[in-house]
């Protein structure tokens, strides 16, 4: 579920994990319980630290380049 930011007029900004189907509905503030409207913000895209570099695409031609044996021109 995505995490959205909400702004409570009394307590300030807070985040809540909600289903996408409820993204635009007010959320109850954890501090005072009052309904708070969702804040418009840019999405955050995260990758895990151990994910490594982005995958490479295959070279043009649909396959990987052919490898040759040392000193051999036949393959």
Residue-range domain boundaries for the chain: 3-42
pTM of the model: 0.53
Quickly tell me which residue has 């396959």 as its tokens: 63
**pLDDT for res 58:** 58
**Percentage helix, strand, coil, to 5, in the chain?**
10, 25, 70
- In the chain the first and final C-alpha atoms are separated, in Å, by 52
Across the chain, which has 75 residues, the per-10-residue mean pLDDT values are 90 92 91 92 67 60 59 62
Q: Where are the alpha helices (DSSP H) in 1-75?
A: none
Q: Which residues of 43-58 are buried (b: 16+ CB within 10 A; e: fewer)?
A: eeeeeeeeeeeeeeee
Look at residue 30 in the predicted model and tell me its pLDDT.
Answer: 87
The pLDDT score that the predictor gives to residue 40 is 84
């Amino acid at each position: 579920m995505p995490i959205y930011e909400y702004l409570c007029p009394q307590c300030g900004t807070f985040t809540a994990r909600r289903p996408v189907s409820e993204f635009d509905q007010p959320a109850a503030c954890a501090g005072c319980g009052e309904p708070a409207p969702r804040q418009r913000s840019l999405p955050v895209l995260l990758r895990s630290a151990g994910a490594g570099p982005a995958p490479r695409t295959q070279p043009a031609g649909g396959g990987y380049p052919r490898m040759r044996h040392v000193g051999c021109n036949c393959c």
